[in-house]
Structure 1
Amino acid sequence: MWTGPGTPTGGSYPPGSPVRPPRPTDRGGIRPGSGLIDRGNDRTGPLVEPDWWSSGSTDQPDHPHAGGRPDQHGFTRQHPSGPLPPMPMGIWDRLGQGGNGPDDDATVATPRLGGRSGDAAGEDLPGGSPASWEEQTGAFDVIGANVDEEAPRRRGLRRSRRAEPADDHPATVALPEQHPAAAHDEDFFPDEHEFLGEPAGPLTDDEIPVAPYDPRTDRARRRRRRRPFAMLLAFLVLGTIVAGIVLGGQKLLALLDPTSQDYTGSGTGSVDVRVNQGDTLSDIAQTLDDADVVASTGPFVSAAKDHPDATGIQPGVYTLRLQMSGESALDLLLDPASRQVSRVTLREGLTVVQVLARVAEDTGTPLEELQAAAANPAALGLPAYANGMLEGFLFPATYDFEPGDTAVDMLTAMVARAEQAFDGLGVPESDRLTWITKASIVQAEAAGAEDMAKVARVLENRLADGMPLQLDTTVNYANGKGGITTTAVDRANESPYNTYVHTGLPPGAISNPGEDALRAVLAPADGDWRFFVVVNPDNGDTRFAATKAEHDANVEIFRQWLRENPGE
């Protein structure tokens, strides 16, 4: 190899030489301005390559510079026109040849990078203090000398492949055998297994731990910090989208199906709504829709179908509110306080005169209007067998009268209720007037329901015998008075209702009997009684007798009570 300074001046370069020959020029291959002597006219012709040329080393015995032998002129340099000598031998030549050059010192075992005192490759030097690995590397510049030994291994580094079995010098520093660019490509970029999250293997001898700044780590940390806020934002956006879909769907449904529209809340203001007799839930819903109580019929009907009490909505006038939800409107219709009614309760045994007075008092209807209505029985639906007599056909019960109901409406409702009771007991219309008349007397004379069947038997026995009934209640009805006693003047009244003067039954009822009295007439008690008297009106004690003597004794007990109660 060439051992002198400068650049070879001619000839060919040996194979494998790191220096490339100069490009030929027009003047014999010498580049102008190179500082070399122009020997263009020295035509030596082609030279035969000597054997030592291909060796690439001055150790070849035939090499011109082997052993420092001079040439024929005493110089140790070949003629310029001869083949160029090889380049001087450097460190890599000596390492490649494995010879013992000037710098071929014995290999020194150096601790592995990052080794600790006591490791196999990092024993303490004699003297007790560990030697610095920089000192043990000799003249070599160790890659990564400026890296902290304690720095963690970079996560992105590719896991080193397992090395071949170690040679006899495991502690020798392993130098890379490949081009630096190849090492960069192979070892710097992360292995595909690293990206999949597999743990990195242990460090090997040819792997240098480094901890450079990794922007990806910082970006990941920022992403982790932003993740909760991003999730919260995503939930808010999703909730907004869902709410928009729901509201939009409701509006679209309302446009497609007008019957599904519904107000929200319990409404405002006040409005009166009438529910008529026989109205269905759909009829009631339509009435509410017409009055703007509900937005449409659908929500109310749906709510009513799910409520078991909805079918029991009573006819009447209800105080509701405007623009209510269907469910709220249903709740008010089921609330008794929402219904505008005037409730009238008629007890058993009241006369027509007494009934009209009670209705006028409880409903605020003028008495004159009620009396005028009673004077026209045909307008009230009175049956023909009643012979135009209203007494006995105003059935005792509780009635709810609504605002706007007239006197005729009220009395008509009572007559209809009486006919309903009569039909239920199955009495033929041809017998009903007599039956109602007897029941009215039983209702007026008996102190309690337990005595009604006995009173009915007394009437049947006396009528069967042809005896006058002689009942004070009929005399008082004829005289238009009340009480439990009569006077001689009262009993002298020629009214057909005076049973002291006339035998048999009066022409019609003397009161409005209840169902118990009606049933008692249909099934009188068994007995031979012809007489009865209430001996103590305070507790209703009634005595029945078959003979006149027994009856007179019972009458004396009653007179004693009268003496004890002079105001009666």
Structure 2
Amino acid sequence: MSKKKGKSSKNKGRKKRKIKSKKAPIIILLLFLIVGISSSLVSYNYYSLYQKGGIKLDKDNIGHNVNISIKTGTTSREISEALKSANIIDNSLLFYLKVKNDGVYKNFQAGDFVFNTSMDYDQIIETLQKPGQSDQLKLLVKEGQTQEDIAKILDEKGIVSYDDFMNACNTISFDYDFLKDLPKDSERESVLEGYLYPDTYYLSKNETAESIINKLLSRFNELYTDDMVKKANAMGLTTDEVVTIASIIEREVKYKPEKNIVASVVYNRLKQNIKLQMDATVLYAKKEHSDRTLISDTKIQSPYNTYYVDGLPIGPISNPSIDTIEAVLNPANTDYLYYVVKDDTTGEHFFTADYNEFLTAKDKYVKKFN
């Protein structure tokens, strides 16, 4: 009996070891499943954020064309990586998830493609289906151009009519935080002036005035950060006041290193309750592009004319770049109150805090240019 018991205990030991060896692969398989499900959830949540607008794409190289050749048999994952390497997209996984989820990767073609770093995902996907072709229409909005300038360009290119664009700007409500606090004033001639961000855009042929405006506003929304909002508030300024000052400087200053100096002039004059008397505001009120301002022009009774009104004009007079906005938020430390162009070629100015000195310089440089 003792032998049987011994044999029985040995068998039990072997049985236990066999059971353990069967459990090991199951545990490993479960671990793989857990990791796989977690990765899928992360990917799904990441893609969901994109769909909901929770992730914003940071395009630093706006406006650059990039040629890419895609060979037959290239997978959608490889295409995503190639686009990332060429700085067309910022996240290859995000793009890959979108094309897989939408099923559009099945329509991708092999061939030579021209992409632009300003394209959004839908435009890239559309391009990948048409090698050697481009349905994209280029819209270049220059720094300092106005809402009306943009309307004219779109009309000339046959994308949307001048009237449609202007009406859409002034009548359609767009859901952006920076627009919510705009003064509701009927005297403003252009509601979105200042916020139609100057950049290079690629549009499809079926764009509407509303969709184009949304692209321009969206670009402003990307670049005008929360930190800038906080900085403006700390300076006692609203976003609209920052953009208004920047819009004036954009039209006044040709020589970029002087932007923050002119910003200091604006602040210094405002503090001392001196009219800004910026010629760019006169020309906006006059609705005319010109290199010179006549004395008669300064008498135009317009809420945009800073020879006529105290303080800032009623709103922005152009669409400024982010560089100019940053200059407004980081003005130079000066006591300057006056400036006059001293070099007509570079656009450099002579600055002073003394009025008589200003008059002398003005007389000198006006004679020089005339």
> Counterpart of 2:139 in structure 1: which amino acid?
V
Report if aligned partners of 2:255, 2:348 keep a CA contact under 8 Å in 1. Answer: no
Structure 2: gaps (5+ residues): 1-70, 74-90, 111-118, 185-190
Relative to structure 1, the CA distance from residue 481 to residue 465 in structure 2 (aligned partners, 3 Å threshold; closer, same or farther) is: same
- Identity, in percent, stands at 25
Q: What is residue 252 of structure 1 aligned with on the other side?
A: none
User: What SS is found at the alignment partner of 2:336?
Assistant: coil
User: What SS is found at the alignment partner of 1:443?
Assistant: helix
1:344 corresponds to 2:146: no
Q: What is residue 259 of structure 2 aligned with on the other side?
A: 452
Aligned pairs (5 A) from 1:46-125: none
| Per-residue CA distance 1:106-160 (angstroms, 9 max, x = gap) | xxxxxxxxxxxxxxxxxxxxxxxxxxxxxxxxxxxxxxxxxxxxxxxxxxxxxxx
| Per-residue CA distance 1:252-311 (angstroms, 9 max, x = gap) | xxxxxxxxxxxx969xxxxxxxxxxx9743542565669x737xxxxx9xx9xxxxxxxx
User: What SS is found at the alignment partner of 1:399?
Assistant: strand
TM-superposed deviation, 1:541 = 2.4
Higher relative contact order (CA 8 A, sep 6+): 2
Q: What is residue 356 of structure 1 aligned with on the other side?
A: 151
Q: What is residue 494 of structure 1 aligned with on the other side?
A: 301
For residues 512 and 448 of structure 1, what CA distance do their matches in structure 2 show? 17
> Paired residue for 2:341, among 503, 513, 534?
534
Report if aligned partners of 1:380, 1:415 keep a CA contact under 8 Å in 2. Answer: no
1:284 corresponds to 2:99: yes
Q: What is residue 217 of structure 2 aligned with on the other side?
A: 415
Q: What is residue 365 of structure 1 aligned with on the other side?
A: 160
For residues 334 and 98 of structure 2, what CA distance do their matches in structure 1 show? 56
| Per-residue CA distance 1:337-364 (angstroms, 9 max, x = gap) | 5442112121211111112222333463
Q: What is residue 244 of structure 2 aligned with on the other side?
A: 437
Report if aligned partners of 1:319, 1:338 keep a CA contact under 8 Å in 2. Answer: no
Report if aligned partners of 1:462, 1:530 keep a CA contact under 8 Å in 2. Answer: yes
1:478 corresponds to 2:273: no
Relative to structure 1, the CA distance from residue 452 to residue 282 in structure 2 (aligned partners, 3 Å threshold; closer, same or farther) is: closer
1:406 corresponds to 2:208: yes
Aligned pairs (5 A) from 1:7-26: none
1:386 corresponds to 2:200: no
For residues 433 and 283 of structure 1, what CA distance do their matches in structure 2 show? 36
Report if aligned partners of 2:198, 2:320 keep a CA contact under 8 Å in 1. Answer: yes
Q: What is residue 197 of structure 2 aligned with on the other side?
A: 395
Relative to structure 1, the CA distance from residue 546 to residue 265 in structure 2 (aligned partners, 3 Å threshold; closer, same or farther) is: closer
For residues 120 and 244 of structure 2, what CA distance do their matches in structure 1 show? 36
Q: What is residue 325 of structure 2 aligned with on the other side?
A: 518
Relative to structure 1, the CA distance from residue 424 to residue 315 in structure 2 (aligned partners, 3 Å threshold; closer, same or farther) is: farther
Relative to structure 1, the CA distance from residue 450 to residue 313 in structure 2 (aligned partners, 3 Å threshold; closer, same or farther) is: closer
User: What SS is found at the alignment partner of 2:211?
Assistant: helix
Relative to structure 1, the CA distance from residue 375 to residue 289 in structure 2 (aligned partners, 3 Å threshold; closer, same or farther) is: closer
Relative to structure 1, the CA distance from residue 526 to residue 285 in structure 2 (aligned partners, 3 Å threshold; closer, same or farther) is: same
TM-superposed deviation, 1:401 = 0.7
Relative to structure 1, the CA distance from residue 424 to residue 340 in structure 2 (aligned partners, 3 Å threshold; closer, same or farther) is: farther
Report if aligned partners of 1:536, 1:561 keep a CA contact under 8 Å in 2. Answer: no
- Matched residues, number: 262
For residues 249 and 265 of structure 2, what CA distance do their matches in structure 1 show? 10
Report if aligned partners of 2:141, 2:150 keep a CA contact under 8 Å in 1. Answer: yes
Report if aligned partners of 1:316, 1:340 keep a CA contact under 8 Å in 2. Answer: no
Q: TM-score if structure 2 supplies the norm length? A: 0.63
Structure 1: gaps (5+ residues): 1-263, 267-277, 295-299, 304-311, 321-331, 564-568
| Per-residue CA distance 1:495-547 (angstroms, 9 max, x = gap) | 11111121111111111111111111111111111100113322212110111
1:543 corresponds to 2:357: no
| Per-residue CA distance 1:364-401 (angstroms, 9 max, x = gap) | 32222212212214157571222362110101111111
User: What SS is found at the alignment partner of 2:139?
Assistant: strand
Relative to structure 1, the CA distance from residue 504 to residue 342 in structure 2 (aligned partners, 3 Å threshold; closer, same or farther) is: same
For residues 100 and 158 of structure 2, what CA distance do their matches in structure 1 show? 29
For residues 510 and 313 of structure 1, what CA distance do their matches in structure 2 show? 29
Report if aligned partners of 2:147, 2:166 keep a CA contact under 8 Å in 1. Answer: no
Relative to structure 1, the CA distance from residue 412 to residue 380 in structure 2 (aligned partners, 3 Å threshold; closer, same or farther) is: farther
> Counterpart of 2:199 in structure 1: which amino acid?
A
Relative to structure 1, the CA distance from residue 283 to residue 502 in structure 2 (aligned partners, 3 Å threshold; closer, same or farther) is: closer
> Paired residue for 1:293, among 80, 102, 107?
107
Report if aligned partners of 1:447, 1:534 keep a CA contact under 8 Å in 2. Answer: no
User: What SS is found at the alignment partner of 2:290?
Assistant: coil
Report if aligned partners of 2:344, 2:369 keep a CA contact under 8 Å in 1. Answer: no
Report if aligned partners of 1:344, 1:363 keep a CA contact under 8 Å in 2. Answer: no
Relative to structure 1, the CA distance from residue 426 to residue 561 in structure 2 (aligned partners, 3 Å threshold; closer, same or farther) is: same
For residues 444 and 397 of structure 1, what CA distance do their matches in structure 2 show? 16
For residues 166 and 268 of structure 2, what CA distance do their matches in structure 1 show? 38
> Paired residue for 2:229, among 410, 427, 451?
427
> Counterpart of 2:159 in structure 1: which amino acid?
G
Structure 1 or 2, whichever has the larger Rg, is 1
TM-superposed deviation, 1:560 = 1.9
Q: What is residue 114 of structure 1 aligned with on the other side?
A: none
Relative to structure 1, the CA distance from residue 339 to residue 317 in structure 2 (aligned partners, 3 Å threshold; closer, same or farther) is: farther
> Counterpart of 1:284 in structure 2: which amino acid?
V
Let me know the Cα RMSD of the aligned residues.
3.2
Q: What is residue 503 of structure 1 aligned with on the other side?
A: 310
Report if aligned partners of 1:380, 1:408 keep a CA contact under 8 Å in 2. Answer: no
Q: What is residue 366 of structure 2 aligned with on the other side?
A: 559
Report if aligned partners of 2:159, 2:207 keep a CA contact under 8 Å in 1. Answer: no
Q: TM-score if structure 1 supplies the norm length? A: 0.42
TM-superposed deviation, 1:480 = 0.7
